[in-house]
Structure 1
Amino acid sequence: MLSGLACATAVLLGASGTALAFAEPRPEPDAELTSAATAKKIRADAGIVLLNSHVSGRNHPASTARANIADTAAGGRATTSPWSDVGVKKVTLTERMLTGMLKMRAAGYKFRVTTIVGGDHSTNSRHYAGLAFDVAQINGRAVSSSHPSYRTFMNKCRAFGATEVLGPGNAGHSGHVHCAWPR
């Protein structure tokens, strides 16, 4: 296989009428188009609630979780918040993070996403790279150390490829679960 290319099989008939098959290179699907389709599925799923405000109380409608998914579904990029460590910039939400979100829903969880690239995170946060999302409610209950399934939610995120999973018991994560995919 050629780097960056996928193969399609073409069939030609040889001189004797024998079918000859060969692989023909074709471009990989555009990552932003794939992310747009996945974001549309997320937006349409009533079991994934996308917060339309910031938990900090600051106002910047363009950088909410709902706006991040809407912008991606429209084929655009998500917007970070002006008070973030990176200022306002446009970020492509990665397909693996978006797919991870859908897989969590398919695993039977209903959840509220509070932030994707918006908000304020540590300087090198995977949020700013379109690789992470935070969840403050799972199956109708706020995330806390007494939530009956926050640990299984975290384990399932890991099973679906997240390599940075934090929640109650981790500094700064007592009220939410953070799921992030590798860079």
Structure 2
Amino acid sequence: MKRVPSLALLTSTLLLTPLLGGCGAGPNANSGAESSAQATPSAALAAQSVLSWQALRLGDSGRDVVTLQYLLRHAGQTLSVDGSFGSGTDSAVRAFQRARGLSVDGVVGGNTWKALIVTVRQGDSSNAVRAVQDQLRSGYGYSSVTVDGVFGSGTNTALRDFQSRRGLSVDGVAGLNTWHALVTGSSAPASGTTASLAQSILNNSRITLGTSSSTSGGNPRQNIADTAAGRAATRGCASDANCGLTVTLKRSMLQGMATMAAQNSLYITSLAGGVHSTYSDHYAGLALDIGIWNGVSLGSPNSAHTAARNACIAAGSDPSQTFNAYNDSSGGHDNHVHCAWN
């Protein structure tokens, strides 16, 4: 899915913290920090700590856009469900934001996602149910699920299996945490395929995974080992390297790493751990930092910076979020190359 820089958005009773300096924050990072007319979050949200959501906007496409479109329909908006965030979806998002007292910017960040989400369970029939069914069927391979908007026994069985595999409460109810896992799918514990990919990275002699991090249990090697074992990776936070949060390393980033290693050797200095900027893609499991490229240190600007950045882009990283000493909109990348995937 084409995406703007992912946003780690606070969904607790605390206010959003200001953007801090560090690696990997996109130029549009603040776009998801929407203001809400509500003085306090709902009880359901107050129980949450930090959830990372994919921010969607005009030009994006993919499964999460389909989910967005179904939810907008459920909320009474009129638009096509085609997986493409075009002008019609943009207008519907803005109309929804205006009606809910949110910042009207057309960007579907954390507050907009939370306002769109409704709890659904067996017996319900709605476009919100279609959104769940579409994610289960097309996003996670539950081929027995029919996208008909009717939450029957088949949808219930599939959802319970999904919840079990991701360490969620197995109740067959699509509440906030289940919606979050479905939408960021990406943020669910690794499937066997992703786990196998992580294991292959562990076994790849061309990839050296750093064993140092200010986050306990958050160094690159441990992050990959946890992913190979089907566990979430320990991540840091901008204000606290040991904030106790986890994230699932995304398959797109892991595949990109493996692709680069087919013809190059690389030393990974950071994945999810450490202190980065508040909205860093590291904290969404989408970014990696390279410290050595084909035996050449990236500790200072040199030609290897260019070679590593080009290789990341060739392996699918987002050019606008792939930084080195010479392509650096945010600063702080003179001593490594930062690559982030969608």
For Structure 1 versus Structure 2, the TM-score category normalised by the shorter chain is: 0.7 to 0.9
Deviation at 1:123, TM superposition (A): 0.4
Q: 2: CA distance between counterparts of 1:77 and 1:84?
A: 18
C-alpha distance after superposition, 1:57-104 (max 9, x if no partner)? x4x440101110010011101001365478221100000000000011
Residue aligning to 2:292 = 137
Relative to the length of structure 2, the TM-score reads 0.42
Quick check: 151-160 or 37-46, which moved more? 151-160
Residue aligning to 2:340 = 180
Q: 2: CA distance between counterparts of 1:46 and 1:26?
A: 40
Residue aligning to 1:67 = 222
Cα distance, 1:113–1:162 mapped onto 2, change above 3 Å: same
C-alpha distance after superposition, 1:24-75 (max 9, x if no partner)? 9368xx8712221110010000110000012xxx4x4401011100100111
Show structure 2 runs of 5+ residues with no match: 1-132, 146-164, 166-184
Output aligned runs, 1:2-13, within 5 Å: 3-4=134-135, 5=137
Contact 2:296 2:304 in 1 (8 A): no
Cα distance, 1:174–1:37 mapped onto 2, change above 3 Å: same
Q: Which has the higher strand share?
A: 1
Show structure 1 runs of 5+ residues with no match: 7-23
Q: 1: CA distance between counterparts of 2:339 and 2:333?
A: 11
Contact 1:84 1:121 in 2 (8 A): no
Residue aligning to 1:89 = 245
Cα distance, 1:26–1:154 mapped onto 2, change above 3 Å: farther
Q: 2:211 aligns with which of 52, 61, 64?
A: 52
Q: 2: CA distance between counterparts of 1:44 and 1:159?
A: 23
Residue aligning to 1:125 = 280
Q: 2: CA distance between counterparts of 1:26 and 1:132?
A: 34
Letter in 1 for 2:260: M
Aligned-residue sequence identity (percent) comes to 36
Contact 2:236 2:283 in 1 (8 A): no
Residue aligning to 1:98 = 254
> Is residue 166 from structure 1 mapped to residue 284 from structure 2 by the alignment?
no
Letter in 2 for 1:45: N
Residue aligning to 1:116 = 271
Letter in 2 for 1:95: R
C-alpha distance after superposition, 1:126-169 (max 9, x if no partner)? 000000000000011111322x3321221221122211100113
Q: Which has the higher helix share?
A: 2
Q: 2: CA distance between counterparts of 1:103 and 1:130?
A: 17
Contact 2:248 2:284 in 1 (8 A): yes
Contact 2:241 2:273 in 1 (8 A): no
Cα distance, 1:88–1:102 mapped onto 2, change above 3 Å: same
